[in-house]
């Protein structure tokens, strides 16, 4: 019986170490960005040796996958449930953009670092696309409400972009005011014949 207890305790300790490594990497990715975060820095921040880090994460991709999965669990991108079926285009788009812009606001440091690095590091681009692509695609579809007009699609793509939110915030608009402005623009595009 003591052996099973020891094995269970060892497994718990390994999981705790793994979690410390993931959390250390997330913190560094949010401040430095994934491309500027060395495995040595992650190990140091987690309080483990590099060989311990490699035992849990044999390569950088596995660590990035684990970090992005854990971050996505803690900070999920909003889903269109509750507003996607709203008939009124302005109300639907406003609800969707307010939810998305609140997400951008709450996660701006991490998103900015990851998107910056995704421009030059293919692995970061692939992983960020895997984590954000599907949820953003769902928001995009809900905002479009079946429209296939290229100008409407371009307007929605502009509206959901992190860079758009950043620009509007730099202009002095609150997150809600930015969402409301873009909602009016998208709703106007949707209402055109």
pLDDT in tens, the chain (193 residues): 566 667 777 778 889 999 999 999 999 999 999 999 999 999 999 999 999 999 999 999 999 999 999 999 999 999 999 899 999 999 999 999 999 999 999 999 999 999 999 999 999 999 999 999 999 999 999 999 999 999 999 999 999 999 999 999 999 999 999 999 999 999 999 998 7
Concatenated DSSP letters for 167-188? Answer: HHHHTT--HHHHHHHHHHHHHH
pLDDT for the residue 2: 62
Q: Where are the domains of the chain?
A: 2-73, 76-191
Identify the pLDDT of residue 5. 62
What confidence score (pLDDT) does residue 157 get? 98
The pLDDT assigned to 192 comes to 86
- For residue 1, the model assigns a pLDDT of 56
For the record, the structure tokens of 159 come out as 């509206």
d(CA 115, CA 17): 28
- Domain 2-73 classification at class level: mainly alpha
Write down the pTM of the prediction: 0.90
The b/e string for 80-112 (b: 16+ C-beta within 10 A; e otherwise) is beebbebeebbebbbbbbbbbbebbbebbebbb
């Amino acid at each position: 019986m003591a052996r099973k207890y020891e094995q269970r305790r060892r497994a718990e300790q390994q999981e705790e170490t793994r979690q410390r490594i993931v959390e250390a990497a997330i913190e560094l990715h949010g401040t430095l960005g994934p491309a500027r975060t060395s495995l040595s820095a992650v190990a140091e921040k987690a309080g483990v040796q590099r060989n311990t880090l490699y035992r849990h994460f044999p390569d950088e991709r596995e660590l990035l996958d684990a970090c992005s999965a854990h971050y996505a669990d803690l900070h999920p991108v909003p889903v269109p449930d509750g507003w996607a079926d709203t008939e009124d285009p302005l109300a639907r788009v406003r609800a969707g953009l307010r939810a998305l812009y609140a997400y951008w606001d709450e996660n701006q440091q991490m998103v900015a670092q990851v998107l910056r690095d995704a421009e030059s590091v293919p692995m970061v681009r692939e992983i960020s696309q895997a984590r954000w692509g599907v949820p953003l695609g769902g928001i995009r579809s809900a905002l479009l409400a079946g429209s296939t007009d290229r100008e409407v699609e371009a307007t929605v793509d502009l509206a959901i972009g992190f860079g758009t939110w950043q620009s509007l915030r730099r202009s002095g608009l609150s997150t809600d005011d930015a969402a409301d402005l873009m909602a009016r623009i998208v709703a106007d595009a949707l209402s055109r014949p």
